[in-house]
Structure 1
Amino acid sequence: MLGLDGIPVQGRLGISDVERIRAIVPALYRHDHQLGGGALHDVAADALRRVQQALNQCSYGERVERLLYSAMGDLAASAGWFAYDAGRQEDASRLYSQALQSGMLAADGMLQARVWSNLAMQARLLGRDQEALRIGRAAVDTRQAKNDPWLMTLLHCRQAVGYARTGERIRAERSLARAETAYDRVQGQPAAWLSFLTPAEITGLAGAAHHALGKYDRAEQLTADALAMLEPRFERNRVYYTAQRAQALLDGGRVEQAAAAAGTAVGLAGRVQSERVRDKLGALRHQMRRHAHVSTVADFLEQTRATGA
């Protein structure tokens, strides 16, 4: 599937070998959108080891060397993302560190900005909101982000969620506006790792920001809009945003609708292997236990009793 057998482990590497390595990441992300990182982190890690072996045992020129480090960093950053989504944070941190090193050796500023963005997201997951904001600001200030509206859109969306989580409403709203302005400038197709960044994703992140600000009705509406726009290929994100909508409904006091949405999320989860999604559903179920006297909630709790999610 990934074409690893075509990468030599001895002899001389050329541009065609770099192109084969580059093709691994888009193939992985097509599956990530559907299955989640739990299905891919081991595959990506194995691919990365194969590429490292080729880089260490083969010969190549200076130009190919730089391109190889860039391609290897792209793969390491992707493997880090899959590990992050699978709940393997130590593995993710190690892979992100490797990706940063490769980005430095390749003088690939875009790769480095991408890793900083992912590190900010990981810090937020681990409850380190101020650290996440500082990392995000550093990424926004890079020349690569300023020159790439795709990346800038994502960074501002994530900063908006970060500011909202720390109660900085004006900064959150300003970041959302800047994300929209940046997205108006995008052209062509994004890099494979940014292929999830569609109007649906931007709207869903805006919903997350409004939810963190306590604006639950607005968060629910934005998340519902995101779900309506979301393409079928994004199975994992459909589960994630359906759970996000259920959470907004629950926090807004619309308990029966929340239970229905949560049940839909569980029904959609199917083959998705994402610890992030599982944790989100588990937290939702735990909170719903306070409303077990409501029949629809009781049905949801019974539906998910065996799995806890």
Structure 2
Amino acid sequence: MTSVIGANIRRFREDRDWSQARLAREVCRAAGVIGEPVGRQEISRWETGKRTPREWLPFLAAALSVPVDALRAPQKPAESPLPTLADFLPEDDPLSPLGARTGRRIGMSTAEVLQQRVHGLRLADDVLAGGDLIRPALRDLRRAVKLYRENTYSSEVGRQLLRQIGELAQIAGWIASDAGQHEEAERIYRIGISAARQAEDHTLAGNIAGSLAYQLSNTGREVEAVTLAEAALNDAGLGAPPKARALYLDRVAWAHTKAGGIEHGQQAMRALGEAAEALSEDTPGTESPAYLYWVDAGELRVMESRVYTELHRPLRAVPLLRDVLSDYDATHTREMALYLSWLAVAFADANEPEEAVSVAERVIAISSDVASERTAERVRVVLRKLKDFSDVPEVAALLTEHQTA
């Protein structure tokens, strides 16, 4: 349980918008020590109450520019504390150095090569599924972490390596999730959140956290998903690029949608509206991280249509999905199958089983060639939905043909 001192350390740190890694460096600087006897992991232990700073307390106070008594003073409970990503960091620190680093000295060119590999993997994910990419993705992530832990480099190069590990963890986690390896994906995402926060890249941390929230939404952990999606939005702050805020809000909308209930549905619709407003601020000349290249108005329409489908509002969902699919890139077969699956469900909700069957046949045909657990699960969802219309000949024939699914 978090101690009074731990809660105060965290509060003062977040007031300064510092990561745990940044506070660790400032404490060591205040103490005048060589090396890093206090690291991100130790700060985490202090904040969660697993350890007490004791002799480090004066240096903590100096680093945070507060009196020592301020760290000991009980605080009045906040009205409703906002969730933060610190609650979702891994228990240990998989990015900590391996004792005395014995590797070579590396420069920014090494980080740039890693950046190119990350981007290549992300582009490959546009056209290939998780089952095809899981091995190279995990291999690249292991190599990147090993590179960071074993070699020496400047602080600037170290931060860039951490950013690339974060980006790599985001796409590797996404690939693992698509392959149905959800525990592995969660572990990878948490490493990525840690790397991004240590690099003090709040936009990247929010992107990774949103990806994990999306997985939690789809795997029966809806309450956690809402907390994490909102933490990603809160931690990134209003300074995040418009595309990033739009994506965070999309994840918030989906998390509330999957949580179910009238109130969550209203929160989902509100988040969708705010996502559209955020994206409208992405004017020419506005800079966004390269990994957000795919976030555009079309993707927001996709999420909006999916939310309407899940909320059983087919009259809103069907036109949106048809519009999106009419000019969607056919080379992105996995996404095509996923979006068609929501269209099939929307037709079923609209009491149009024949139309639903026609779309379902396309979903099944496309999914048969895609090594994705996401599309496989959506096929199962569509077939379960069609069972409500088993007395319709077209539906009965489809269910009989694919009963093993």
Q: TM-score, normalised by structure 1?
A: 0.88
Correspondence 1:157-172 to 2 at 5 A: 157-165=250-258, 166=260, 167-168=262-263, 169-172=265-268
Which residue of structure 2 lines up, in the alignment, with residue 182 of structure 1?
A: 278
Residue 185 of structure 1 aligns to which amino acid in structure 2? E
Report the Cα distance in structure 2 between the residues aligned to 1:303 and 1:182, rounded to whole angstroms.
Answer: 45
Identify the match of residue 173 of structure 1 among 265, 269, 273: 269
Structure-2 change in CA distance of 1:90 and 1:192 (3 Å)? farther
Q: Alignment identity in percent? A: 27
Which residue of structure 2 lines up, in the alignment, with residue 258 of structure 1?
A: 356
Residue 135 of structure 1 aligns to which amino acid in structure 2? L
1:145-175 alpha-carbon deviations (Å, 9 max, x no partner): 6421111111222222333343234332222
Residue 275 of structure 2 aligns to which amino acid in structure 1? A
Report the Cα distance in structure 2 between the residues aligned to 1:26 and 1:271, rounded to whole angstroms.
Answer: 24
Shift of 1:255: 0.6
Which residue of structure 2 lines up, in the alignment, with residue 301 of structure 1?
A: 399
Residue 217 of structure 2 aligns to which amino acid in structure 1? R
* Structure 1 range deviating more: 79-88 or 156-165: 156-165
What is the root-mean-square deviation of aligned Cα atoms in Å?
2.2
Structure-2 change in CA distance of 1:193 and 1:42 (3 Å)? farther
Residue 371 of structure 2 aligns to which amino acid in structure 1? Q
SS at match of 2:173: helix
Structure-2 change in CA distance of 1:190 and 1:160 (3 Å)? same
Report the Cα distance in structure 2 between the residues aligned to 1:147 and 1:297, rounded to whole angstroms.
Answer: 47
Residue 109 of structure 1 aligns to which amino acid in structure 2? H
Residue 50 of structure 1 aligns to which amino acid in structure 2? R
Identify the match of residue 247 of structure 1 among 339, 345, 355: 345
Shift of 1:212: 2.4
Report the Cα distance in structure 1 between the residues aligned to 2:110 and 2:189, rounded to whole angstroms.
Answer: 23
Unpaired runs of 5+ residues, structure 2, are 1-101
* Structure 1 range deviating more: 58-67 or 226-235: 226-235
Which residue of structure 1 lines up, in the alignment, with residue 192 of structure 2?
A: 99
1:213 counterpart = 2:311: yes
Which residue of structure 2 lines up, in the alignment, with residue 141 of structure 1?
A: 234
- Flag as ranges the 4+ runs of structure 1 deviating above 4 A: 187-190
Correspondence 1:5-154 to 2 at 5 A: 10-143=103-236, 146-154=239-247
Which residue of structure 2 lines up, in the alignment, with residue 202 of structure 1?
A: 300
Q: How many residues align?
A: 299
Report the Cα distance in structure 2 between the residues aligned to 1:189 and 1:246, rounded to whole angstroms.
Answer: 37
Higher relative contact order (CA closer than 8 Å, sequence separation 6+): 1
Residue 178 of structure 2 aligns to which amino acid in structure 1? D
Which residue of structure 2 lines up, in the alignment, with residue 4 of structure 1?
A: none
Which residue of structure 2 lines up, in the alignment, with residue 5 of structure 1?
A: none
SS at match of 1:281: helix
Unpaired runs of 5+ residues, structure 1, are 1-8
Contact conserved, 1:200 with 1:230, CA < 8 A, in 2?
no
Structure-2 change in CA distance of 1:105 and 1:155 (3 Å)? closer
Residue 254 of structure 1 aligns to which amino acid in structure 2? E
SS at match of 1:147: coil
Contact conserved, 1:200 with 1:227, CA < 8 A, in 2?
no
Report the Cα distance in structure 2 between the residues aligned to 1:27 and 1:248, rounded to whole angstroms.
Answer: 35
1:186-213 alpha-carbon deviations (Å, 9 max, x no partner): 2568545433323222111101111222
Contact conserved, 2:214 with 2:255, CA < 8 A, in 1?
no
1:236 counterpart = 2:329: no
Shift of 1:229: 3.6
1:53-109 alpha-carbon deviations (Å, 9 max, x no partner): 322333212211111111112112221111112111110111012112212322221
